[in-house]
Amino acid sequence: MALMNACMQREKAYKNSKALASDALPLPVAFTNKVFFVLFFGSSYYLIQRWREKIRTSTPLHALILGEIVAMVILLASFIYLLGFFGIDYVQNIIGKTWDFDSDREISSNNNNNGNSSCSVEKEKSKLRQAQFNGKSIADNRDEEIAFAVGNGSLASYSLEATLGDCKRAASVRRRAVELMTGRSLEGLPLEGFDYQSILGQCCELPVGYVQIPVGVIGPLLLNGSEYMVPMATTEGCLVASTNRGCKAIYQSGGATSILLRDGMTRAPVVRFPTVKRTAELKFYLEDPINFDTLSVLFNRTSRFAKLQGIQCALAGRNLYMRFCCSTGDAMGMNMVSKGVQNVVDYLQDIFPDMDVISISGNFCADKKATAVNWIEGRGKSVVCEAVIKEEVVTKVLKTSVPSLLELNMIKNLAGSAMAGAIGGYNAHAANIVTAIYIATGQDPAQNVESSQCITMIEEANGKDLHISVTMPCIEVGTIGGGTHLASQAACLNLLGVKGANSDLPGSNSQCLARIVAGAVLAGELSLLSALAAGQLVKSHMKYNRSCRDIASSDPLVDPTVEGKSDITCFS
């Protein structure tokens, strides 16, 4: 009841705040406007005529008669009225707009929702809770009954959170409904110990539990003079241990250095015109420096942190692909750049009315795909990281030799990948490290596809030592937004010292995370190549990366008479 009263009060306040300026007028607004328009232009005309006559007769302008004084008062009054009526209304419209700062969740709008919208959401939830089932409200039924209703389709699974008003209970009921529908148990999937409220409306829909992924820590990784303990979430044995050995080799050799080459997220809408000529006209318009300032203003107004850097165009017949690139602060920035692009496309639609917008994303971005455009132009953070490993460290820690690593990298990473027709795949296993860190820190694991594009270079240094470097043009990371706000992922970001947004230097936290990813990849490449050169790979994986377990016996709903239930499954 208190919540409903608060909502009603907010609605009243909202309505009052939207009162029109015309509400205070004693006469109809249309009539009042006409009167003041006539007074304004009439007094203006009278004063102009009087001043022209004074100039012609050499009469001082400040010598005023009663009629001139009255005319000036009328002019001032009508000007104030017209400015107030039209100007204030214009300003109110500007202020009243809801500027959605998207991945600017750097402003904490992600965690502090607008009060009016909260009330409307609560109203919808209240309606759902009042729905009847078995003669009483749905929430008053037993979980088993509700799960049965979901299973037979009489109650929508997606509405459980709003209907029950309890996110954890909704997940539990949905989980039971899935078991009833499939006849399979979800006993091994954890339910307790997770804040389901934190993912409501974001991260994951229709939850039934969460997956446990072990998190290991490598380090210290000595990078640019600072030490980092890097979390990695993985189920692959040897990965954390191997990468940790690479960190040890780098540390004992004086550390690694990483450089940020570029920072810009991309989005590429595709549009179509009736003719190729019209398509080319838009291309030339976008590439004209005179128009860039206007497009930048339109793009940048959607966020405090979005800054348009450039637009790259490509034609395919009547289709035009426009690759927008912009900085996004500490957010990974996909939503931020998409909103800026939408603003520009809407503007272009007015200038080119025959433009047909096919999609806000035309795959020339390119997101979650290994592409040449990302490999060449970069996307997200472009980073290069290097280290010089001492000969004695190669021998004692990595158990191999500098010539062996030189030969292996040339034949495997460079020539072998070229034979395979790889795009940015000139490395041993960059994807392993990138994905493990992404999962641990709340990044989008699917963006591992382009983020793992990497070329590993190994050369001789100082006549005996080893120079190793990794160049990664597409590391797509953020320290706010997405899954970074979840407790476990936020803890991992905090371990690295890059949690949240950097208020002093926006973007520096996500850039630091990108450098750390590149440094960890360098360590992983160094260790795996050494294991391959020394012939240790198979031996280590047989020891640490095999599991034999009776999987079928852990499922109580599996029919014990089914053939193969007692089989032991081994995987590596």
**Do the beta carbons of residue 458 and residue 466 sit within 8 Å?**
yes
H helix runs in 463-565, sequence order: 487-496, 508-533, 537-544
**Could you list the active site residues?**
236, 368, 444, 541
Q: Over 80: is that where the pLDDT of 352 sits?
A: yes
Contacts of 141 (CB under 8 A, 6+ apart): 133, 134, 149
Q: How far is CA 317 from the centre of its chain?
A: 32
Query: Of the ranges 65-79, 110-124, 236-250, 505-519, which one carries the lowest mean pLDDT score?
Result: 110-124
C-alpha span between 170 and 180 (Å, rounded): 15
The count of C-alpha atoms lying within 13 angstroms of the C-alpha of 234, restricted to the half-sphere facing its C-beta, is 23
Residues forming beta bridges with residue 223, ordered by sequence position:
226, 256
Question: Across the chain, what does the average pLDDT equal?
Answer: 85
More confident site: 108 or 169: 169
pLDDT of residue 1: 45
Comparing 354 with 95, the larger pLDDT belongs to: 354
Could you tell me the CA-to-CA distances from 158 to 117, 153, 196, 208 in Å, in that order? 20, 11, 14, 12
Q: What pLDDT digit, counting tens, does each position of 380-391 carry?
A: 999 999 999 999
Residue 555 has pLDDT above 60, yes or no: no
**Residue among 248, 259, 258, 243 nearest 520 (CA):** 243
What is the reported pLDDT for 86? 62
Tens-place pLDDT, residues 15-36: 444 445 555 556 666 677 778 7
pLDDT in the model for residue 93? 47
The band of 78, judged by pLDDT with boundaries at 50, 70 and 90, is confident
Query: Tell me, what DSSP letter sits at residue 195?
Result: -
Q: How far is 523 from 515, CA to CA, in rounded Å?
A: 13
Q: Which two tokens stand for residue 567?
A: 């089989």
User: Which CATH architecture group holds 215-263+371-544?
Assistant: Alpha-Beta Complex (3.90)
Q: Where are the alpha helices (DSSP H) in 218-275?
A: 239-252
Report d(CA 242, CA 267) in Å as an integer.
36
The token pair that represents 136 in the structure block: 């009483």
Mapping DSSP onto H, E and C, the string for 381-435 reads: EEEEEEEEECHHHHHHCCCCCHHHHHHHHHHHHHHHHHHCCCCCEECCCHHHHHH
Q: What is the pLDDT of residue 24?
A: 56
324 alpha carbon, distance to own chain's centre: 16
The answer to whether the beta carbons of residues 249 and 391 sit under 8 Å apart is no
- Whether residue 222 has pLDDT greater than 60: yes
What are the tens digits of pLDDT across the range 417-456? 999 999 999 999 999 999 999 999 999 999 999 999 999 9
Q: How confident is the model at residue 68 (pLDDT cuts 50, 70, 90)?
A: confident
Q: Give the lowest-confidence range in 81-85, 171-175, 183-187, 472-476.
A: 81-85
Q: Are strands 454-461 and 425-426 parallel, antiparallel or unpaired?
A: parallel
Query: 221 in helix, strand or coil?
Result: strand
What confidence tier does 37 reach under pLDDT thresholds 50, 70, 90?
A: confident
Top-confidence residue, 251 or 135: 251
User: What per-residue confidence (pLDDT) applies to 538?
Assistant: 60
- To which H or E segment does residue 149 belong? helix 143-151
Q: Average pLDDT, stretch 133-153?
A: 86
Span 446-491, pLDDT tens digits:
999 999 999 999 999 999 999 999 999 999 999 999 999 999 999 9
Token pair recorded at residue 148: 């049965």
CA pair distance 360, 412, nearest whole angstrom: 39
Local structure of residue 568 (DSSP, 8 states): P
Model confidence over 277-321: pLDDT tens digits?
999 999 999 999 999 999 999 999 988 899 999 999 999 999 999
- Contacting residues for 221 by C-beta, under 8 A, at least 6 apart: 227, 228, 229, 230, 247, 250, 251, 256, 516, 519, 520, 523
Using the predicted structure, report yes or no on whether residue 176 has a pLDDT greater than 70: yes
Reported confidence tier of residue 546, pLDDT bands at 50, 70, 90: low
Q: Where does the pLDDT of residue 544 fall: very low under 50, low under 70, confident under 90, or very high at 90 and above?
A: low
Residue 71 has pLDDT above 90, yes or no: no
Alpha carbon distance 7, 126 (integer Å): 12
User: How far, in Å, CA of 500 to CA of 493, rounded?
Assistant: 8
Digit-coded pLDDT (tens) for 322-346:
999 999 999 999 999 999 999 999 9
Topology of domain 269-359 in CATH is Alpha-Beta Plaits (3.30.70)
CA 371 to the chain's CA centroid? 20
Query: Contact at 8 Å (CB) between 321 and 270?
Result: yes
Question: Is the predicted pLDDT of residue 96 greater than 60, yes or no?
Answer: no
pTM metric for this prediction: 0.74
The whole-angstrom separation of Cα 450 and Cα 372 is 10
Tokens of 114: 């607008």
pLDDT of 207 > 60? The answer is yes
Taking residue 224's Cβ as centre, other Cβ atoms within 10 Å add up to 15
- Rounded Cα–Cα distance for residues 442 and 103 (Å): 14
- pLDDT at residue 106 in the model: 45
Ranges of each domain in the chain = 2-111, 119-199, 215-263+371-544, 269-359
In this chain, the answer to whether the domains covering 215-263+371-544 and 269-359 adopt an identical fold is no
Both ends of the chain: CA-CA distance in Å? 58
